Structure 1
């Protein structure tokens, strides 16, 4: 029989996040700190708007790009929050989550053999989306000593005449690192000097602590070479609604809509009506969630330091990325042993790229009570480990 499978797809490794999630779902009394999903309910007024749209029979396809009313709200939101100006009629598309936005961005700009600089550690789908679009990922590894921030010299060492784009994500999943305007400026200069596209995944833009988020697309001359990915899952606790959006210059968006219409048609109609309400009236709820995450962030940093586990202090998202190198195990070994012995699921840092080896991603999108119980089990676990000579 012929091999009917795509070699590109076969070459891809399954998600390291889902592997531990699937195990924990069948393990009684297990605690998972592995999934990047808010533990808050979607704000009631958003749910109510979704219910109302169903009651009114609003169950038909929207336009391919999404409800015009929602695109106008997104446009106003981006300008109000991040000083980004996009035409809602021609420069914004509503997608099935931010993940679809990443996928269609890659498929819109890449030809076979084009290289994409992928900044790791990063969300697990970036490399896969590059490969499935026919591109070649070129990895740039962030370093803890740089506070997991990207440096221009790292990009200069990776760029070739085949480089078409780079994909970055700040606030970062899994490290929680952010980039200030001053730190983004040399990255923008690099993109302009080498004439490449920047895909900026800003899904955690509302979750920063002590600083406001800055989009690289807001810097001078960057809008025309930037694709901004964002969505409703993290900030508005709407993961299951599967709704995101992309903002990009008109010449890119015209082609992006074609990819979207052929593979998706349109994002879920009910979710779009609910999202309008989220953008109009949920600033207070978002602030309440951010305040709770910040409390949990400070608690985790303190507890890891107390246990003698080296830990970079995150400034965004809802993850912490402690180092477990001192224990002499790989990330996978440590996480597997912890799960089997103490029933605590934490994602190995290696799931986010080779430079994540020696780290764990711990989500604090869980209650303080759950975090206390999980950390108590973790402390018991490490206290029983043999001391590394």
Structure 2
């Protein structure tokens, strides 16, 4: 999930804890307590992404792909981070000679732990995935439901516009809400009906923030966030049974992976989960039609109101194991790639993940293989390969 969404979730958590957790007159001053909880929650909601410091220092695409959403995105990492943050807060309060009550401390622990856990939960909802149970279980888990950048979730934070303490914070949130409307009506990714639904939801939540008591307004924001997430998971489940675009749980991009005799095959399609309401031809996203660096073959056919098949990739099942044995970069990338592809061009091997292939050049998740087996500087992570079934030679 993008860090803007994480930050909005953290602010919502901090405001909710500060309003609902009982405060004693002898503890932290109400204004001080509320500010501390909101800032702590916003920071902790982004803290697991501190692993980008390591991946940036490593300076390679392979390090980022194999190590981002790594150890900091696990239950062990969350517990360790929570302990360090709570210790730092205790030292800060001691340095400032603050006198928190037991209730203040409980509210701080709640804000820190909930924010860290919600970060993992939000990252789980999309197709990038997490592996929270390391070191007991190193498999990736995927929600495959919510788009990484989702304006509907930004909209759910609308009541905060009337609850945030500072004018600067309110102005920044107003910019985010305007951006959500801009993405809804100013791009081709979202159909007008979805944009109207987003605007109606925003108007209702702004009214709740304006008129309702703070606790009720926060309950509306939280309920809307959960309802939006549930709607996308329902759409994802329907898509899975039948065979994501932002702000539209009725339209999905699909990658179907099969092993057919001696071939490894991936086919991409656009899918409408409720074609009686919205046919696949009316789904606005056309990213599947863009050129890719993977050697895709266009699929011809009339399709249906529900499914529009786009293209396919095929390779010999014997090809993958040979490349994985020859190039250690390929073996490491397989720890991340959920839709891996390989191709030979002008005497060089290229490998990528079809989930993120949206340009003919080598992009975010594609690379040229250059380092022979045993020569990689990047440490191999312990994550279980999502596509182990293509790592062994075929029949």
Bin of the TM-score, shorter chain as denominator length = under 0.3
Query: Which of the pair has the greater relative contact order for Cα pairs under 8 Å at 6+ separation?
Result: 1
Return the structure number with greater helix share.
2
* TM-score normalised according to structure 2 size: 0.26
